[in-house]
């Protein structure tokens, strides 16, 4: 049976969940794709593991110092890189070097962290095209929520008119708390931080940047646009006042932080900001960790998707959905690629 070698770069919660889920599905891959899928390498920022015969789950707890970096991964002979490192869209994060190296060498890449895709998306798409590598990004686009899938697969042929997404759990939580209990932004934030729903520095979420990053990835990878962060108008929730919250409530509206793309007058407008929805709109009921997207097309009308899963498992499953699409594509090709 043909072997497919996988490496995972970035070995925090999501990377580990992905490794475990992948190992639990090896029999499935054998049965459906006739492939012996081996996890040959994993690495974090300082340490890693390598075994050409494949790592087993019980070996993943103790990493060896020094086994890390793009050159380490390249030397493992992995055909597919799964990148799950920390996300930093201002620098591309540590993932960028791994993804560059993989795609340049013709390895397929499954990207979970958003940083590199936001920072250097166009370059990475070019690299993949040039080396005929597959670049899959479901995990980065909004974890288990089908977004790219809808654009690429379910709505294929129809022309997108607009996209609207509730893509950030922290702002959902904060707006919920402010609306349902009449507390202000600062109070809601302290509560959320105490409960683990907001980070110590919450600005990436509250100021809309996380939503903007996901919207940008959708626009550039799903819709063929070439937007940069500067092209987006980004407003967060940090300045929402109690009076605004009360006014929405009085009008029967529910505020959400939304990323949106609208095609109009031959161009596209992309922004992130608060929109308030009436109760009859499914978006009014997207709360907590649920994420949602609404795509409007010329021929298929409105399509809404919502997703609520347990993390990091759901994100790992999204990345491994990408792996199955790679397995399908590479199996359909016939002759094995040169190792």
Question: In the complex, which residues of this chain contact its own copies (CB under 8 A)?
Answer: 21, 25, 28, 144-146, 149-150, 153-158, 279-282, 284-287, 297, 299-310, 313-314, 316-318, 320-321, 323-325, 332
* Least distance CB 131 / its own copies (angstroms): 18
* Least distance CB 301 / its own copies (angstroms): 3
C-alpha to C-alpha distance for 147 and 265, rounded to whole angstroms:
24
Q: Quote the tokens at residue 268.
A: 């596209």
In the block, tokens 């907590």 appear at 288
Q: Which is nearer to its own copies, 123 or 281 (CB)?
A: 281
Q: Which is nearer to its own copies, 145 or 234 (CB)?
A: 145
Per the CB < 8 A criterion, the answer to whether 43 and 63 are in contact is: yes
Q: Which is nearer to its own copies, 100 or 289 (CB)?
A: 289
* Least distance CB 165 / its own copies (angstroms): 14
C-alpha to C-alpha distance for 128 and 43, rounded to whole angstroms:
22
Q: Which is nearer to its own copies, 269 or 321 (CB)?
A: 321
- Measured in residues, the chain has a length of 339
Q: Which is nearer to its own copies, 63 or 253 (CB)?
A: 253
* Least distance CB 273 / its own copies (angstroms): 23
Q: Which is nearer to its own copies, 74 or 313 (CB)?
A: 313
Type and span of the H or E element at 269: strand 267-278
* Least distance CB 252 / its own copies (angstroms): 12
Per the CB < 8 A criterion, the answer to whether 257 and 235 are in contact is: no
Q: Which is nearer to its own copies, 104 or 303 (CB)?
A: 303
Per the CB < 8 A criterion, the answer to whether 170 and 192 are in contact is: yes
* Least distance CB 41 / its own copies (angstroms): 21
Per the CB < 8 A criterion, the answer to whether 271 and 232 are in contact is: yes
* Least distance CB 295 / its own copies (angstroms): 10
What angle, rounded to 10 degrees, do the helices at 26-33 and 313-332 form?
30
What angle, rounded to 10 degrees, do the helices at 242-250 and 169-181 form?
80
Per the CB < 8 A criterion, the answer to whether 272 and 147 are in contact is: no
* Neighbouring residues of 145: CB distance < 8 A, sequence distance ≥ 6: 167, 291, 292, 293, 305, 306, 307
């Amino acid at each position: 049976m043909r072997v497919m070698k996988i490496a995972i770069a970035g070995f925090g919660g999501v990377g580990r969940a992905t490794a475990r889920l992948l190992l639990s599905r090896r029999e499935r891959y054998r049965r459906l794709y006739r492939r012996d899928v081996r996890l040959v390498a994993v690495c974090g920022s300082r340490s890693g593991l390598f075994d050409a015969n494949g790592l087993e789950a019980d070996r993943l707890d103790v990493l060896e110092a020094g086994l890390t970096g793009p050159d380490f991964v390249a030397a493992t002979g992995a055909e597919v890189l799964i990148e799950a490192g920390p996300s930093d869209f201002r620098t591309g994060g540590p993932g960028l070097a791994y993804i560059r190296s993989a795609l340049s060498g013709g390895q397929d890449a499954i990207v979970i962290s958003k940083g590199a895709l936001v920072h250097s998306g166009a370059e990475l798409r070019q690299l993949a095209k040039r080396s005929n590598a597959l670049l899959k990004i479901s995990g980065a686009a909004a974890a288990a929520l089908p977004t790219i899938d809808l654009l690429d697969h379910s709505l294929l042929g129809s022309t997108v008119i607009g996209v609207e997404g509730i893509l950030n759990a922290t702002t959902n939580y904060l707006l919920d708390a402010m609306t349902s209990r009449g507390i202000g932004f600062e109070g809601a934030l302290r509560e959320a931080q105490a409960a683990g729903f907001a980070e110590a520095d919450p600005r990436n979420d509250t100021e809309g940047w996380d939503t903007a990053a996901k919207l940008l990835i959708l626009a550039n990878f799903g819709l063929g646009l070439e937007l940069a962060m500067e092209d987006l108008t980004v407003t967060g929730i940090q300045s929402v006042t109690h009076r605004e919250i009360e006014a929405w409530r009085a009008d029967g509206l529910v505020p959400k932080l939304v990323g949106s793309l609208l095609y109009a007058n031959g161009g596209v407008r992309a922004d992130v900001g608060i929109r308030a929805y009436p109760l009859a709109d499914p978006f009014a009921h997207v709360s907590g960790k649920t994420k949602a997207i609404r795509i409007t097309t010329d021929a298929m009308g409105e399509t809404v998707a919502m997703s609520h899963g347990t993390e990091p498992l759901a994100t790992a499953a999204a990345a491994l959905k990408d792996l199955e699409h790679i397995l399908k594509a590479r199996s359909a090709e016939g002759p094995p690629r040169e190792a």
